[in-house]
Structure 1
């Protein structure tokens, strides 16, 4: 075989490898050791075309079973989740498909009224961002940012791609469009600064694929009580680990999944546990935008 098969593999060059045991120390506000946030996904799906999570076998379009299951989240589940968050005094970050403004703007208004952070999450989860050419992707990022600013009065500082789908240019385009952080990467338990063309600043804030109801409950068919226990165990273990360095714990939720009554009952138990940790000063309950802003203070970019 040619020797090239045994050399270094292709890399992304967005950040270097650095073990978590060899990081500079910093502090979260109020000397908390773990920063915790809720990533609450408000999504809208085209009827009769495109992609979408599935509870049952995927049928030819119109796939009424799976489309209506997802729509339960917008009609019922999200409202129950908001009630739960409010009862515990928990802030949230709403990961927003801008198609929600056309379909059910009341949901966005409720999120804004709570003071939640709005995070760009594409126009619809019926499509993958990584399938677009560079010009179309740039237009998507700009349009979503402008729509949220126009409708809700504040341009988003963060982005999560629909289906976590990126092109090779996504981090560059995000920074050039004015986004300050991305949630696409799940490679670390701390924020990581990403390299972009032109040197524009962009943080990668950890977004979970384990503490995430789609891969755990839908893909792995995990029971809601077990998912709730995972959240509790993860928080308790991270608190132990955070004696050595500050950490980030995100929790990714979709209202058509955890908004189902029997699952919400178990989510309530997990969030009550987190609220207790907050009340004891063990964790900083915040948003990814709050984490990004704090990192800009404790680890400002070096001017080129």
Structure 2
């Protein structure tokens, strides 16, 4: 039995090599709209039910359909207002079901990264070959419909396996070369990008994607009212902005167009965006741009610092780190 997932070494949040974001920004800020497709009657998975109700699960399906019909337009217009380009965590079946949404986002130069094919089909129970095929299908679909070589991955409905990160890194390289398949959002362990171990040895990293700032976690799991959620976003920003004076931090707001875009919730979200973007020294960017910048300027320094600390703890002998 594993003591930990094994994706990274312990690396305390102090005395790390300093991160400096473009233009001297203290914080890299990105918004990750989850634009998902849920099936009304998906294939059964013995490890997890897609809906709490017996089929047909009309209530759950229809509110998510509301998100793609109404909520997406609201959120997109709001992000336009603050010059924020979304990084879409995309159920790639949406490319076929709702291509209009894809076109609207392409026009705005939003990033598309993979969130699997359907958000009602889970990684649980898949063989390694089946998961590889699913990841490949999603990356090929993004490229076919957008021309983008997918950089990031968030497992469908957060259904992670022991092979997910390795497979995404490998498939990205196989399809498009070393600049695709370079970051994961599935690890929630840090407020800065961090190097991640892969069996291929690829330069791969985790980009902070906060479950605590995720609107579904806030509204559905933690039962937080909208105005309190807006204040939490501001408080989270304030702390990361303060720490960013010493070394650059990352703040992500993961959203869902059937959650934060409901009429009674949108005002608090808008006030938080207005507050964050009104500050100087904020790099308003995308997940891909954070990953590419970090990979070019800080990845090797970070990896070397981690290895030095691990070696120090082990008395100076290298036991296959990297």
**Structure-2-length-normalised TM-score:** 0.86
Partner of 1:86: 80
Q: Does 1:166 align with 2:160?
A: yes
Contact kept, 8 Å, 2:195 with 2:299, in 1: the verdict is: no
Partner of 2:28: 35
Gaps of 5+ in 1: 1-7
Partner of 1:265: 267
Q: Does 1:136 align with 2:130?
A: yes
Q: Distance in 2 between matches of 1:264 and 1:52?
A: 30
Contact kept, 8 Å, 1:53 with 1:66, in 2: the verdict is: no
Number of equivalent positions: 291
Q: Does 1:287 align with 2:281?
A: no
Q: Distance in 1 between matches of 2:56 and 2:18?
A: 53
| Corresponding residue SS for 1:112 | helix
CA offsets per residue over residues 40-90 of structure 1, 9 Å max, x none? 010001112367887xxx321101111101111000000111011111111
Gaps of 5+ in 2: 173-180, 305-321
Q: Does 1:11 align with 2:4?
A: yes
Q: Does 1:120 align with 2:122?
A: no
Match of 2:237 among 235, 238, 256: 235
Q: Cα distance, 1:154 vs. partner?
A: 1.4
Q: Cα distance, 1:241 vs. partner?
A: 1.8
Q: Cα distance, 1:9 vs. partner?
A: 6.4
Give the ranges of 4+ consecutive aligned residues of structure 1 lying more than 4 Å apart after TM superposition: 50-54, 300-304
Contact kept, 8 Å, 1:41 with 1:252, in 2: the verdict is: yes
Q: Distance in 2 between matches of 1:39 and 1:72?
A: 19
Contact kept, 8 Å, 1:98 with 1:122, in 2: the verdict is: yes
Partner of 1:71: 65
Q: Cα distance, 1:22 vs. partner?
A: 2.6
Q: Cα distance, 1:243 vs. partner?
A: 2.2
Q: Distance in 1 between matches of 2:204 and 2:19?
A: 19
Contact kept, 8 Å, 2:28 with 2:251, in 1: the verdict is: yes
| Corresponding residue SS for 1:35 | strand
Match of 1:219 among 221, 225, 250: 221
Q: Does 1:24 align with 2:24?
A: no
CA offsets per residue over residues 113-141 of structure 1, 9 Å max, x none? 11101111100110222331100100011
Partner of 1:4: none
Contact kept, 8 Å, 1:130 with 1:166, in 2: the verdict is: yes
**Structure-1-length-normalised TM-score:** 0.91
